[in-house]
Amino acid sequence: MLTVKNVITNEDVVAKTLKEKIEKHQAKIGVIGLGYVGLPLAVEKGKVGFPVLGFDINPARVDRVNAADNYIGDVKDEDLKAMIDKGLLQATTDFSRLAECDVVIICVPTPLTITRDPDISYIQASTEEIRKCLRPGQIITLESTTYPGTTEQVILPLLEKTGLKVGQDFFLAFSPERVDPGNKRFTTKNTSKVVGGMTPYCLEIAYGLYNQTISNVVPVSSPAAAELTKVFENTYRAVNIAMVNELMMLCDRMGIDIWEVVEAAGTKPFGIQTFYPGPGVGGHCIPIDPFYLTWKAREYDFHTRFIELAGEINVEVSYYVINKVMRALNSVNKSLKDSNIFVLGVAYKKDIDDMRESPALKIIELLRKQGANIVYHDPYIPVIEPHGGSTIHLESVPLTDAALADADTVLILTDHTDVDYERVVEKAKLVVDTRNATKNVLRNREKIAKI
């Protein structure tokens, strides 16, 4: 809480004024980046009455927001339309309007470079735009996943070039996004939020900001602690997925069904959390975040061997899938070269339209290099465009009986719910299933090769 002092300083006045504006929902909130993190956040803030201004460098995305044309699965169409109709949310490409905002939340991508080093160029560019408009009485929070130290070592020096001081004139915090695209149970509102501030006032104001729209806010001692919390969460998942992927490859040699083992182990009511094998790891976090941590660790002359080994295994598993396809084709006297492969699903996980870092992209590239002919079907991804180092350009084809029958093998890489796998197996000559999607298929199981 803001404490009463014998002498009221300008720092106290600035902090108290901003805090009161937030508590009364009078603070204008700016959200930089209107993607999978930014747009749901902007809508949640608008739903409780905050005026929200969204910023994006993509004019088409800005136009869609202003037209209430939703493009994010985790946002309800009616919620976006209501916010636009009420005038509580609008979007712009004009970053000079950041001066209007009392709160600025950065939600931009943090990918890896081609050498697997952190790329924080979007964070830096956003901070430069904020710096041009920075004024007393603003709080800046970063939500983009990054390495520990980014808020203090990158953002803070840029903002203090204005001559304004953190904790006195403006406030700065880090609060990592925890978005799980497609998760119907845990949303922006009911997922706990970790927050760390540069100063006690920074933490208090940031806590109050997020507490308006999120059920449980968890304060930590510093932005660096919050940054490491986020990286740890996803490194934990990457390491455990790597362990079960390695077990999958061992089970293949032993002739044991890995899915049976994992599901049986998961019945234990304590001491285990279930992770499932697959064709690799994908998404905006798990394939990337561990590399942020290993990169930062080198600054301290520390080698994160365990984490890097997990990364190697999760890359290796994509090559294992290629080998599995080759073996399946060999079993019916077919070679991989010139074979027709129908890839079923390219999103990084089921029932979403997100293919960032999807293992399907790498697997398709590898199959093509081996001379295979590839078509794909994904009800959520109508076209694959070259991006992020991938050169693939393909359009989704209809899931017809003829397309299934013409393929030498159907390769299931994403287990979308609305696919009739009984029909897939019935019409296909051969099926390689990397997701256990055919678990409940009872007939024609001799056609199925599971990883």
Please list the active-site residues. 285
- Cα 443 to Cα 423: distance, rounded to the nearest angstrom: 10
- C-alpha to C-alpha distances, 226 to 166, 170, 230, 288, 451, nearest whole angstrom: 18, 20, 7, 17, 37
Q: Which two tokens stand for residue 378?
A: 């994904």
Classify strands 383-384 and 394-395 as parallel, antiparallel or unpaired.
Answer: antiparallel
Query: In whole angstroms, how large is the CA radius of gyration of the chain?
Result: 24
Q: What whole-number distance in Å separates Cα of residue 21 and Cα of residue 134?
A: 18
The answer to whether 197 and 119 have CB atoms below 8 angstroms apart is no
| Cα–Cα distance for residue pair 86/243, rounded to 1 Å | 49
The DSSP letter of residue 95 is G
β strands within 20-163, DSSP E: 29-32, 52-55, 89-92, 103-106, 138-142
- Number of neighbouring beta carbons within 10 Å of residue 170: 24
Report the distance separating Cα 313 and Cα 280, nearest Å: 9
